[in-house]
Amino acid sequence: METKARNSIKRGVAIALTVTSVVLVLMMIFGVMMLLNQGNIIKIPPQLFYQVMTIHGTGMIGIASLGGSAIMWYFLSKYIHLNPKIFFTNLILTLIGVVMILTGIFVFKFSDGWTFLYPLPSASAKIYGSTGALLFLFGLLILGIGYLIMYFYIAARLIKEYGGLGKSLGWDYIFRGKKGYGPPSAVVASTMVIIANSVGILAGATALVESILNILNPNLTFDPMMAKHLTYAFGHIFANCTIYMAVIAVYEILSEYTGRPWKSNKAFLIAWNFSTLFTLMIYTHHLLMDFAVPEWMLIIGQIFSYANGLPVMVVTAYGALMIVFRSAVKWDFASSMMYLAMFGWVAGAVPAIIDATIVVNHVMHNTKWVPGHFHTYMGMGVIAMIFGFMYYFNKTEGTQKQNSVDKLAIAVYFLFFSGIAGSFLYAGKISVPRRWAEHLPEWTASDQVGAVCGILVIVSAVIFTIRYIMGLRTVGKKDQEQSLKSAS
């Protein structure tokens, strides 16, 4: 029975990772399509550009979250008992949501951007009909419900096992002077994510319902400023939480490869507690240009944005350096990916901190500087952690071996993803606006460089994906052998 439960956990994780890698490649192709259009190499109608931009943003954030939750679920299930059905429920609701979103965008021409800012969806519903907007909004809502079900279930399990979410965040050690080390890092990180992301998703769901009601009955109107607060609270927290789920792989994999436990000492616990709080507070950095927002909120947004990522990033980067220092760590695909991803994450935070400064923000925020920042920390941070974990999964649960193509693919991936991010940051520096289908001739060089880099990134992502899907067979074989052994 025990191995049966374990096998269904593994199956769920394997399916989620398969979906993640395939969707990722597809969304990257859409990304290159946008660059080719901005760089004047191909011409697509502006309407299609914005459909592509909407699916690229939604799809990327969505799969980063799916891949991240696969990591969280896989490692958390080693410490507490988890019912595999819950993960499948989330997976199925996600897939239903994705199909609705795809239909809304490609069949019914919804193209308002993944941030669905009220009252944009109602405005475009009047032009293109309400079906597309409703499919998109309901699709996201269903996706969110899937996550809420999973998070509430994990919360209930953590409360049962640890006696409360405060305890699984290590409050006994921080406030009550309990000696020794706190709960496993996977437990601490998961607690942070379920608290922050549940709040974020509930805020997002409220904004979605507002838009849906407004489309169904235009007499029902809502305060657009309030809706913007709810929407960006959701968007910021949801995107942030992808890394807080994926980073669990850094803790677990580096600790396994060095044979040293990743201890949750007091500094580690305090850092995660601060990040829990700050992640909830700082979304107002997306509203720095809204003069109607009370100044004190913007100042909180600015100050705490500096402080937000830092605690966890510092303890993680420092921990990663220390755990490897003078250890007999074996460098292979998984451990190198985790290590490089750490630096991608740190590097991506620097431009964000610059942009969160109010005076800079007024100049930079609507330029490609911003995509430059999040492509660095998502592409070279979160997504790299997910690829690294895919390899680890096949190696640990199966018998896949690394080869020289894998090594080459890692190098190509990081090199050319820096190229994409660099081309975006450079475009930001020369004031190229973000989210414009058409670019002026003096901007197109940066788009063309980005597109070339993008194509090479896609090549390595395709290699990772094919290797992962082929490696899954070794997992199935190993399972079969084990069940035969236990039967005889």
35, interface contact from ligand HEM, Cu ion, none, CB < 5-8 Å by kind? ligand HEM
Q: Which two tokens stand for residue 16?
A: 């989620």
C-beta of residue 198 within 8 angstroms of C-beta of residue 145:
no
CB of 366 closer than 8 Å to CB of 372? no
Distances (CA, A) of 165 to 68, 145, 193, 195, 203: 20, 21, 11, 9, 21
Residue 97 within binding range of ligand HEM, rule CB under 6 A: no
19 binds ligand HEM (CB under 6 A): no
Per the omega criterion (within 30 degrees of 0), is the bond before 45 cis?
Answer: no
Using the rule CB under 5 A, give the single segment among 10-18, 179-187, 206-214, 236-244 that binds Cu ion: 236-244
Tell me whether residue 237 or residue 383 sits nearer to ligand HEM (CB atom): 383
Task: For residue 433, list its beta bridge partners.
Answer: 367
| 113, interface contact from Cu ion, ligand HEM, none, CB < 5-8 Å by kind | ligand HEM
Contact call for residue 373 and Cu ion (CB under 5 A): no
Residue 383 found at the interface with ligand HEM (CB under 6 A): yes
State the Cα–Cα distance between residues 90 and 143, nearest whole angstrom.
8
The reply to whether 378 sits near ligand HEM by the rule CB under 6 A is: yes
Nearer to Cu ion, 56 or 365 (CB): 365
Residues 274, 304 contacting (CB under 8 angstroms): no
379 touches ligand HEM by CB under 6 A: yes
Q: Tell me the one-letter amino acid at 43.
A: K
Query: Cα separation of 61 and 50, whole Å?
Result: 17
444-463 positions binding ligand HEM, by CB under 6 A: 454, 457-458
Part in contact with Cu ion (CB under 5 A); list of ranges 130-138, 169-177, 228-236, 373-381: 228-236
> Which of the stretches 6-14, 234-242, 424-432, 467-475 binds Cu ion when contact is defined by CB under 5 A?
234-242
Nearby residues of 355 by Cβ (< 8 Å), 6 or more positions away? 285, 361, 364, 365, 369, 370, 373
Q: Judged by CB under 6 A, does residue 236 bind ligand HEM?
A: no
Q: Which does 236 bind (CB under 5 to 8 A by kind): ligand HEM, Cu ion, none?
A: Cu ion
163: left (phi over 0), alpha (psi -120 to 50) or beta: left
Size of the site for ligand HEM (CB under 6 A): 25
**Contact call for residue 380 and ligand HEM (CB under 6 A):** no
Residues that bind ligand HEM (CB under 6 A): 28, 31-32, 34-35, 53, 56-57, 60-61, 64, 113-114, 368, 371, 375, 378-379, 383, 420, 434-435, 454, 457-458
